[in-house]
């Protein structure tokens, strides 16, 4: 995807998203890693923006009520999810298909236990969000890696590899759609081909769609896996959450949508007694986000598109580095294999920017940059990276 025309100059200050909030001393996972150091954290996938005002208002009202007892999913939150999925993705679901969970990572682990038998393989496509690699082995299964292929047009599925891997000994594909960390939003053709392959191999798909609200490329709208066909719907566990889109990951609210009743039963049974309920405030936030957060969401997407363009332009100007185009997510996957340093993550950390090391995603030599932050902070981080790389280049030229 070519960089979109940036609107940063036309809109120099966005009061919703440009505001810098100090997260030091708040127990933030993202910020505490660099406590006491001048390092801008751009690693773990949460954004430095406050949650939408409608979500904060709903949380205030809930807390003002004062009682925080065990809570069931209300009709309000179920309706919000059902209507939200229909309006965003044209996907009509039956409320009975929803299984609430406190996290998508837990759900991924539950899915590994719910499908097949101990010792079976679970197929994953690295580079990939690290829990995809660990969930199978934590669940008594084997991780079967079929890496995405690097092509001049970006990362693509390895069709032959998937066809070889899926089957009776590996009856589950753990799909990440949109894909973290490569930023791919898979096309209808790609997803249909996966669905056809899974039908042929009689495999189940666990489709982690947590980033579905963060599609930046208007030409590549998100397609929930079950929308592809009735057969796809019957062999699929979809994992979703309001956490990434509305920046409420600390509230631990997510859900699986499982149209097939037998698969749903296996999933519930694998979770029973181990996976706790969603907390009361998580439900409240989820209901408000899906029912009332759309204008904030659209403003966020516009803001992230400009941030993406700034990252793409800055990285294109940096010697040694290459960024793959981001179709979805606020995560840029940067190829640093030509950077003449032993450890790119350490190098940038020493130069004041904390990025995710690709090694953890089974993508050594790459770094993941989270651009879900106010633009002044992003601009400063990109300046630090540019200066660091430029200095490296100057040093190598002087040495010659």
Ligand X SMILES: Cc1ncc(COP(=O)(O)O)c(C=O)c1O
Helix runs in the chain, H state only = 29-32, 53-65, 75-89, 104-114, 131-138, 159-165, 188-201, 230-234, 261-271, 280-292, 294-317, 344-350, 375-399
Binding span for ligand X by CB under 6 A among 241-249, 312-320, 354-362, 392-400: 241-249
Residue among 253 and 378 whose Cβ is closer to ligand X: 253
For residue 103, the minimal CB distance to ligand X (Å) is 3
| Contacts of 177 by beta carbon, 8 Å cutoff, 6+ apart | 185, 186, 191, 207, 208, 209, 212, 222, 225
Nearest Cα neighbor of 353 from 316, 304, 399, 388 is 388
208 is a site residue for ligand X (CB under 6 A)? yes
For residue 188, the minimal CB distance to ligand X (Å) is 20
* d(C-alpha 303, C-alpha 155), whole Å: 25
For residue 344, the minimal CB distance to ligand X (Å) is 21
Binding span for ligand X by CB under 6 A among 99-107, 255-263, 287-295, 364-372: 99-107
Nearest Cα neighbor of 336 from 354, 324, 351 is 324
Query: What are the Cα distances from residue 396, in Å, to 46, 338, 343, 366, 393?
Result: 36, 13, 17, 21, 5
Residue among 181 and 352 whose Cβ is closer to ligand X: 181
Residues 42-61 that bind ligand X (CB under 6 A): 45
245 is a site residue for ligand X (CB under 6 A)? no
209 is a site residue for ligand X (CB under 6 A)? no
For residue 177, the minimal CB distance to ligand X (Å) is 9
Residue among 26 and 390 whose Cβ is closer to ligand X: 26
Binding span for ligand X by CB under 6 A among 97-105, 263-271, 289-297, 305-313: 97-105
Size of site (CB under 6 A) for ligand X: 13
**β-strand 353-354 against 356-357: which pairing, if any?**
unpaired
Residues 341-400 that bind ligand X (CB under 6 A): none
Query: Is the Cα dihedral 190, 191, 193, 194 positive or negative?
Result: positive
210 is a site residue for ligand X (CB under 6 A)? yes
Distance of CA 230 to the CA centre of its chain: 26
Instruction: Report the residue number whose CB is nearest to ligand X.
Output: 103
Rg (CA), the chain: 21
Nearest Cα neighbor of 369 from 333, 342, 329, 397 is 333
Residues 105-144 that bind ligand X (CB under 6 A): 105, 129
Selected binder of ligand X within 139, 243, 284, 356 (CB under 6 A)? 243
Selected binder of ligand X within 88, 93, 176, 289 (CB under 6 A)? 176
| Contacts of 128 by beta carbon, 8 Å cutoff, 6+ apart | 176, 179, 180, 181, 361, 362
Selected binder of ligand X within 84, 249, 259, 363 (CB under 6 A)? 249
For residue 181, the minimal CB distance to ligand X (Å) is 8
Residue among 249 and 363 whose Cβ is closer to ligand X: 249
Residue among 180 and 245 whose Cβ is closer to ligand X: 180
Residue 314 φ then ψ, to 5°: -65, -45
Binding residues for ligand X, rule: CB under 6 A, are: 45, 103-105, 129, 176, 180, 208, 210, 241, 243, 249, 254
């Amino acid at each position: 995807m070519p960089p979109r025309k940036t609107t940063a100059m036309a809109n120099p200050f966005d009061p919703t998203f440009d505001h810098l909030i100090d997260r030091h001393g708040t127990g933030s996972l993202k910020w505490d890693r660099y406590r006491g150091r001048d390092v801008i954290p751009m690693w773990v996938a949460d954004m430095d923006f406050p949650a939408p005002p409608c979500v904060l208002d709903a949380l205030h009202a809930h807390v003002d009520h004062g009682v925080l007892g065990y809570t069931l999913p209300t009709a309000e939150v179920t309706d919000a999810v059902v209507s939200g999925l229909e309006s965003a993705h044209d996907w009509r679901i039956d409320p009975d298909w929803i299984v609430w969970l406190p996290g998508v990572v837990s759900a991924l682990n539950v899915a590994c236990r719910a499908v097949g038998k101990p010792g079976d393989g679970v197929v994953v496509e690295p580079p990939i969000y690290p829990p995809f690699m660990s969930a199978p082995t934590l669940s008594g299964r084997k991780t079967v890696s079929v890496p995405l292929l690097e092509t001049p047009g970006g990362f693509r599925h390895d069709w032959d590899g998937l066809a070889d891997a899926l089957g009776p000994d590996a009856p589950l594909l753990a799909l990440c759609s949109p894909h973290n960390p490569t930023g791919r939003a898979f096309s209808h053709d790609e997803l249909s081909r996966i669905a056809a392959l899974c039908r042929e191999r009689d495999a189940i798909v666990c489709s982690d769609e947590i980033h579905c609200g963060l599609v930046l490329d208007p030409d590549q709208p998100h397609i929930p896996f079950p929308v592809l066909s009735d057969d796809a719907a019957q062999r699929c566990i979809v994992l979703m959450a309001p956490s990434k889109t509305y920046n409420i990951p600390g509230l631990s609210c997510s859900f699986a949508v499982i149209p097939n009743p037998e698969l749903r039963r296996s999933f519930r049974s694998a979770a029973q007694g181990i996976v706790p309920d969603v907390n009361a405030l998580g439900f409240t936030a989820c209901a408000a986000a899906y029912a009332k957060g759309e204008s904030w969401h659209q403003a966020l997407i516009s803001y992230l598109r400009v941030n993406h363009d700034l990252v793409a332009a800055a990285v294109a100007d940096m010697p040694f580095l290459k960024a793959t185009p981001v179709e979805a997510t606020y995560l840029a996957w940067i190829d640093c294999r030509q950077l003449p340093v032993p450890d790119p993550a350490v190098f940038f950390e020493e130069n004041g920017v904390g990025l995710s090391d690709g090694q953890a995603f089974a993508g050594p030599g790459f770094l993941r940059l989270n651009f879900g932050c106010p633009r002044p902070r992003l601009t400063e981080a990109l300046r630090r990276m540019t200066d660091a790389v430029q200095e490296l280049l100057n040093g190598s030229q002087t040495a010659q």
